[in-house]
Amino acid sequence: MKAADQFTLHEDRIDVISASGSSYQITLTRCSCKGYSFHQECRHYKQAVNLGLLEKLKAKSLSFSITLSDHAKKLRKEALKEYLTKQKISFTEDLLCTVEPQITCTMKPSELIALCLAA
């Protein structure tokens, strides 16, 4: 049986230890191996995509930046405000502050409304 590449998912990258013992790093846009720099694709990157690791990395980097950035928080609050106004749901500044951190990018509008009504 052929040894497999080992993938480890981190906050901002995926580490790969290849079957031959070399280690590489995969980010959202590239792999650090030689093959990738020649062909803009490689076995590691393809496998990371196939294993769904790249999607997970994307989700991580998204939640990472949203948690960190005050600017993003403000934008999310503004968007929430606009959305609630359109839906004719009354809200307070307190409600926005409570609900904003709980919003996820996979949330459905109905779930969002339920969250606001429960707050």
Which residues on neighbouring strands pair with residue 52, listed in sequence order? none
CB of residue 51 to Zn ion, shortest distance in Å: 14
Cβ proximity to Zn ion: between 53 and 84 the closer is 53
**Residue 91 C-beta: closest distance to Zn ion, Å:** 48
Of the pair 30, 81, the CB lying nearest Zn ion is at 30
Phi, psi (degrees; rounded to nearest 5) at 23: -115, 145
Q: How far is the CB of 102 from Zn ion (least distance, A)?
A: 38
Q: For the CB of residue 18, give the shortest distance to Zn ion in the complex, in Å.
A: 8
Nearer to Zn ion, 45 or 99 (CB): 45
Query: Residue 90 has which token pair?
Result: 């009354």
Query: 2-10: long-range contacts at Cβ-Cβ below 8 A with a sequence spacing of 24 or more?
Result: 5/43, 5/44, 5/47, 7/47, 7/48, 7/51, 7/53, 9/53, 9/56, 9/57, 9/60
Amino acid identity at 86: K
Query: What residues make contact with Zn ion under the rule CB under 5 A?
Result: 31, 33, 36, 42, 44
